[in-house]
Amino acid sequence: MNNPMFIRLSGWLMILGAIAFLPGAIAMLFWESQTLGWSPSVMQLAAFAVFWAPVLLAVGMLGLRARYKIGSGVLLFGSVVGGLLVIVGTMVQFLTPDYSVSETYYGVWMGGVLVLNLCLSIFGVMALLEKPLPRWNWLPLAAGAWILLLPLLAGIVGSMSSPIIITVLVIMTIAQVMLGYILQADTSPKMATA
């Protein structure tokens, strides 16, 4: 696969990962209370989506690295380490019936998600300074920084399933979809010769 094709594919995968993450994250917030009225099979499908969506985000970050060439070390580290943590956490989460072991690996999965979004936020700060994107250089920071604020907001609001937390997740999803769209649509003359 050549570089422009990989970059476009990674943009689409970032869009797909962001869209898959949102309903899964909302389902996970309401998992215990079952207040959404979703059937258990739909809740399990949403949980499956939320566990695998960060892998798609990691591929999208590799596309950002291949396309824009700034913060390459940060994006490569975040994509590889965050993606591996997510994969290991997800596989063990689904394969182990023991709740305590499963809970431990949920922490591994969450660590992978945090590494991915932290590295995307650092790339966003670099993008604000170097301005590699055709427009909206603030978008990578907006796409990654929200997840770092969720624990703080949950402490202030008092509940992870509040409308404020869901609004933050929607904003983060919109920013990641926009970033994926920019990535797959940015076909400058430099890229055609790459």
Sign of the C-alpha dihedral computed for residues 121, 171, 130 and 68 taken in this order? positive
At residue 37, the 3 state secondary structure works out as coil
Q: Structurally, how many domains does the chain consist of? A: 1
pLDDT of the chain, 194 residues: tens digit per residue? 678 888 899 999 999 999 988 887 777 777 655 555 666 666 677 777 777 888 888 888 888 888 887 766 777 777 788 888 888 877 777 777 655 555 667 777 788 888 888 888 888 888 888 888 878 889 888 888 887 787 777 777 776 667 888 888 899 899 999 999 998 887 555 554 44
Q: How far apart are CA 105 and CA 63, in angstroms?
A: 27
Distance between CA atoms of 123 and 68, rounded to whole angstroms? 10
Taking the C-alpha atoms of residue 89 and residue 20, their distance in angstroms, rounded to an integer, is: 18
Please count the other Cβ atoms lying within 10 Å of the Cβ belonging to residue 162.
Answer: 15
pTM, full prediction? 0.80
Domain that holds residue 29: 3-193
CATH at residue 47: 1.20.1070
